[in-house]
Amino acid sequence: QVRLEESGGGLVQAGGSLRLTCAASGRPIAAYAMGWFRQAPGKERVFVATISGSGRDTEYADSVKGRFTISRDNAKNTVYLQMNNLKPEDTDNYYCAQTAGWGVNPIFYEFWGPGTQVTVSS
């Protein structure tokens, strides 16, 4: 019954910014960690960022540290990914996911959104 839906993707020039939104429904998200992952055609899905249920703990992939910020608003059942100083290598389909635990491996995440495309031009 849990549903996740990403939005906010699009085309942006290198150095620009985008904010992705993950809207959740089916159950309150406060008890669950939420994560962002990305995947390009022919590549494996990789970790981008995760945030604890309370929002106090976050973790980022080395490739996005200092550029991306994950946040959440539990009252709105919504998670965000603010992406600044985007690079062409950030071009991917971005996925929102939910886990009852904590981790950077997608195997730990039970629910996934359908993804939103981010394209960064040089």
Token pair of 119 as six digits: 């394209």
pLDDT at 1: 86
Q: What is the pLDDT of residues 67-104, one digit of tens each?
A: 999 999 999 999 999 999 999 999 999 999 999 999 99
Provide the terminal-to-terminal Cα distance of the chain, rounded to the nearest Å: 40
Q: What is the pLDDT of residues 42-51, one digit of tens each?
A: 999 999 999 9
**3-state secondary structure string, 61-86?**
CCCCCCCEEEEEEHHHCEEEEEECCC
Q: What is the average pLDDT value for the chain, to the nearest integer? A: 97
Q: What is the pLDDT of residues 17-40, one digit of tens each?
A: 999 999 999 999 999 999 999 999
pLDDT at 37: 98
Q: Specify whether the CB–CB gap between 41 and 55 falls below 8 A.
A: no
Residue 41 has pLDDT above 90, yes or no: no
